[in-house]
Amino acid sequence: MANMKKIALFNFVFFFVFNISNAQIYDFSVRNETYTPLEKSTSVTNNEVWKNLEYSIPIGFDFPFYDKLIDSLHTQGGVTLMVDNIDGHPSTRVFSAFIPILKKIVDLGFLEGESLSDISYLLEGVEGSRIFKIEWRNVGIDSEIFNGTGASFFNIQIWLHESDGSIEFRYGDSRFDNPVDSNPSSVTIGLIGNFNSGLETFDEFMLLHGDPTNPFLYYLGYYPNYYELSLDFYPPDGTVYTFNRSSVSTEDIRQLSSDFEIQPNPALDFISLKTKNDINSIQSVSIYNSTGALVKIVESDYDLIKVSHLNPGMYHLSILTDQGLATKRFVKM
């Protein structure tokens, strides 16, 4: 059975622009399913040796991604797929992206002049329920190939579902020869919406963290600390991560938030989260400081949350429940 977790795309940061009427919630699940390479797909590489490959791919239908409908995907030398202004100057570039893994890739046979890696895509199904699929098959890691330190490879697919806007990251066979170069112990996977590379701001940034067979999906409130959140190691063969799209209204958030109370407030050492509902309905509590940095995740003992280690100031709580998202704030003395 899929392990279902929800993450709220809600930004508490004072300095970031966020429209709560566009808030969204993604249900996240992980399961294991036999990885099957694409067949009769259209090759991007066409059996040619490649490196630093830049290309654009049509999806074949309008796909909802954050606040936009997109019809194509772009990449610039890695597995990350981007939309929006990917060609702008770095100081002004704004884009959204799928991040199945944050690695710079190369053809495994580049140095020998023989192509051993392929990138291809496929559109399947009938109108209204089509699935766009793209695969990176047996691709190598740039730093290893050119440093001569190994021949690590991995297989990844992304599936985009027309019917419900869901996104799947699928992981196949992999091998890592050199932890220093391929760094399987620091695997960055997630989604990002409307990232401004000059200002280092964004609407949403979600990253997986911890055990890849049962990861936690974090909402990141502050861009520079993204490297602190990653998987412990590369997802095993057959792992499927699914992001299911739904929506939540401002009124839903406000109504649920009114059911919660923080005591004491201001607080010194501990806070207690009180609710009119069953406290067992809480899935997790995320605490952000006034700059938007995630400072604490709580997954139990909500009636006694330690805050003595936090610096004095204003803090925001994102309370994830079975009914949706609630938000509260408190002052640490």
Higher model confidence: residue 305 or residue 322? 305
Is residue 232 within 8 A of residue 185, CB to CB? The reply is yes
Q: What is the mean pLDDT of residues 250-268?
A: 81
Q: How far is CA 21 from the centre of its chain?
A: 21
For 33-53, write each residue's pLDDT tens digit.
Answer: 999 999 999 999 999 999 989
pLDDT higher than 50, residue 8: no
pTM of the model: 0.70
For 112-152, write each residue's pLDDT tens digit.
Answer: 999 999 999 999 999 989 999 999 999 999 888 888 887 88
Q: Give the pLDDT confidence score for residue 321 in this predicted structure.
A: 80
**Claim to verify: residue 98 and residue 165 sit in the same structural domain:** yes
Domain end call among 226, 247, 268: 247
Distance (Å, whole) CA 196 – CA 203 = 9
pLDDT band at 258 (very low <50, low <70, confident <90, very high): confident
**Claim to verify: residue 191 and residue 320 sit in the same structural domain:** no
CA angle 230, 231, 234 (to 5 degrees): 130
pLDDT higher than 70, residue 11: no
Q: What is the mean pLDDT of residues 312-332?
A: 82
**Number of structural domains, the chain?**
2
**Burial of 105 per CB tally in 10 Å (0-12, 13-18, 19+):** buried
Q: Give the pLDDT confidence score for residue 21 in this predicted structure.
A: 31
CA angle 288, 213, 299 (to 5 degrees): 35
Higher model confidence: residue 28 or residue 46? 46
The DSSP secondary structure of 151-166, one letter per residue, reads --EEEEEEEEETTT--
Domain end call among 247, 280, 305: 247
**Claim to verify: residue 222 and residue 276 sit in the same structural domain:** no
**Claim to verify: residue 23 and residue 41 sit in the same structural domain:** yes
Higher model confidence: residue 187 or residue 218? 187
Q: Give the pLDDT confidence score for residue 179 in this predicted structure.
A: 58
Higher model confidence: residue 109 or residue 66? 109
**Burial of 208 per CB tally in 10 Å (0-12, 13-18, 19+):** buried
**Claim to verify: residue 296 and residue 190 sit in the same structural domain:** no
**Claim to verify: residue 168 and residue 20 sit in the same structural domain:** yes
Find the domain containing 169 and state its range.
5-247
Beta bridge partners of 58: 72
Distance (Å, whole) CA 222 – CA 101 = 20
The residue among 65, 24, 22, 21 whose CA lies nearest residue 247 is 24
Distance (Å, whole) CA 302 – CA 322 = 15
pLDDT higher than 70, residue 296: yes
